[in-house]
Amino acid sequence: MKIAFVSSEVVPFAKTGGLADVAGALPKEIENLGNEVKVFMPKYYSIDENKYNLKYNNAIGEMFIRTGGHTKSVHVFNGKLPGSNVDIHFIDYPPFFHRHQIYTDDWDEDERFILFQKAVIEFLQRISWAPDVFHINDWQTALMPILVKDNYSWDKLFDKSAFLFTIHNIGYQGRFSQDTMFRAELNGAYYYPGGPLEHEGGVNFMKGAIHFSEILTTVSETYAKELLTAEYGSGMQDFLMMRKDDLYGIINGVDYDIWNPETDRSIPFQYSMSDLSNKIENKKHLLQQMNLDFDPNIPLIGIISRLAIQKGFDIVSHVINELVHLNAQWVVLGSGESKYEDMFRSMAYNFPYKVSFYQGYNNDLSHLIEAGADMFLMPSRYEPCGLNQIYSIKYGTVPIVRKTGGLADTVQDWNEYNTYGMDIGNGYSFNDYSGYALLHAVQRAINDFHNKPVWHKIQMNGMQKVYSWKYSAEKYAELYARAIAKKKGN
Ligand code: ADP
Ligand code: GLC
């Protein structure tokens, strides 16, 4: 099959979260299964052409693309996903993509990603490459089914192309005003109250893809079920319910070329299941870097996160006093909403011997925290998949999570499962979205930390588990075939 994989972020070129990890890994596995994949992303200012050996696409040259009533001069750069032969094409339009951040609150945010999506389509036209499936991801790519149906319906090239839309996060839907119709230069046919593009009086990109994609997926089985409820569906639950027979949950895998303590070059001391002594060396190194003292009897709890409402820091704030008085140290890496940045900053200021906060984004530090911490806290309000808890499991860093979405599918509570004598408890989880449920789970983890054989068992239960992309890629390949069959049937 020929697959066009379209994403607004891809590791290692540009990343704000897990979508980039997925887009950097899954296409390689899809190609390993014998398919041909082309990946597309915008060429952001931060992407270093020389470092990644990107080549200007001379054969295509300048493409004139219309958005918002004006023609824009767009170029394409070609590269490969590192460690593979997968083509990646970068859509270059500096006025839109050379900004201080990947995502912005600028007035033309909609148009930035409309241009990106149109450019992908027009590039494929120029090379006459008709994908069997467009695998599109999140709102930044969610207009593509409508664009192909509408603006580009004159081109028979895509007549057989099906769409598979993956929802990585329903919290970001691409909601804009009605003006977006003009910027996309779509005819009004899809915009009317209750229509495929309209939601609550504005344009909603995601709703369009939910309506027009042959197959819908999300990134864990539990989240696929949760999405159909009012609590988790963020207003999309009724539209998803109408498509529920076409909605599948496929858990994300791990790119073990990047996230593996045995080979990870971002950490000073590599280690494996058979000998965890170097994990302690990483802990010492991390503590030193974060200005905290080492004590083997005090567990170190790590947090790496976008500090967004999704991630559960409001319930952390409800029990912050109790948490800092536990016999534990904390390293926190993240940025986002200022109230949570302030919370961690003041925690670090008031308890400098216990808490250290790095505000910002730091890839190397994220690897060092995975390797050096004893526990990893992820109290998410909702979590479509979550990757950090899966990385933690691999690094022998015991996750403490709220039982939701992908966290529920990957973390098995030690106490709950141990009751039945099973050897699968790999962390701690709590159900209620409350500070006290969280606090109780952290307390349980700290208690068990002091029981060395138990703690070692929990670490081993996790480290031996493999979350391979191969397994998930095979499931995607089955769904590509299903999408193609559905398209034919139409
Ligand atoms: P989400 O995509 O919702 O942010 P995931 O757990 O799926 O959550 O993925 C988050 C990814 O982003 C992980 O690879 C994590 O290490 C990384 N990450 C998040 N915040 C930071 C940060 N401040 N610095 C470095 N990496 C970060
Ligand atoms: C989103 C979700 C996260 C998921 C990631 C990759 O950002 O919030 O749970 O792991 O996408 O699918």
> What pLDDT, in 10s, does the model give residues 461-478?
999 999 989 999 999 999
Q: What is the DSSP letter of 139?
A: G
339 in the same domain as 240: no
Say if 145 falls within a structural domain. Answer: yes
285 in the same domain as 231: no
CATH of the domain at 362: 3.40.50.2000
195: CA distance to ligand 1 center in Å? 35
353 in the same domain as 236: no
289 in the same domain as 182: no
The tokens for 91 are 């859509």
201 in the same domain as 309: no
Q: Is 149 in the pocket of ligand 1 (CB under 6 A)?
A: no
- pLDDT at position 189, please? 86
Backbone angles phi, psi at 81, to 5 degrees: -65, 125
Residue to substitute in 361, 367, 369, 407 for testing ligand 1 pocket (most ligand atoms within 8 angstroms of CB) = 361
- Ligand number nearest to the C-alpha of 388: 1
- Structural domain including 434 reads 277-467
192: CA distance to ligand 2 center in Å? 31
Say if 265 falls within a structural domain. Answer: no
Contact 413, 338 (CB under 8 A): no
281 in the same domain as 168: no
243 in the same domain as 290: no
Distances (CA, A) of 20 to 23, 25, 133, 207: 5, 9, 20, 22
pLDDT over threshold 60, residue 419: no
Say if 272 falls within a structural domain. Answer: no
Cis peptide before 12 (omega within 30 of 0): yes
201 in the same domain as 67: yes
- Closest atom of ligand 1 to 310 CA is 3
pLDDT digits (tens, 9 = 90+) for 336-380: 999 999 999 999 999 999 999 999 999 999 999 999 999 999 999
- pLDDT at position 418, please? 65
Residue-wise burial string across 321-348, b where 16 or more C-beta atoms lie within 10 A, e elsewhere: eebeebebbbbbbbbbbeebbebbeebb
Say if 386 falls within a structural domain. Answer: yes
The tokens for 487 are 């398209």
205 in the same domain as 309: no
Spell out the residues 6+ positions from residue 159 whose beta carbon is closer than 8 angstroms to its own: none
- pLDDT at position 53, please? 97
Residue-wise burial string across 126-165, b where 16 or more C-beta atoms lie within 10 A, e elsewhere: eeeebbbbbbbbbbbbbbbbbbbbebbeeeebbeebbbbb
- Closest atom of ligand 2 to 19 CA is 6
| Higher-pLDDT residue of 189, 213 | 213
Q: How many domains does the chain have?
A: 2
Say if 268 falls within a structural domain. Answer: no
Assign 104 to helix, strand or coil.
coil
d(CA 138, CA 217): 11
485 in the same domain as 350: no
Say if 261 falls within a structural domain. Answer: no
Distances (CA, A) of 247 to 115, 133, 237, 352, 373: 28, 16, 12, 47, 37
pLDDT over threshold 70, residue 490: no
pLDDT digits (tens, 9 = 90+) for 384-403: 999 999 999 999 999 999 99
Q: What is the mean pLDDT of the chain?
A: 96
420 in the same domain as 308: yes
Nearest CA to 78 out of 28, 39, 32, 45 is that of 39
400 in the same domain as 476: no
- Closest atom of ligand 2 to 166 CA is 12
Quick one: residue 337, left, alpha or beta (phi over 0 = left, psi -120 to 50 = alpha)?
A: beta
What residue ranges line ligand 2, CB within 6 angstroms? 17-19, 22, 168-169, 219, 252, 383-387, 406
- pLDDT at position 487, please? 95
Residue to substitute in 135, 380, 387, 467 for testing ligand 2 pocket (most ligand atoms within 8 angstroms of CB) = 387
Say if 431 falls within a structural domain. Answer: yes
d(CA 364, CA 19): 18
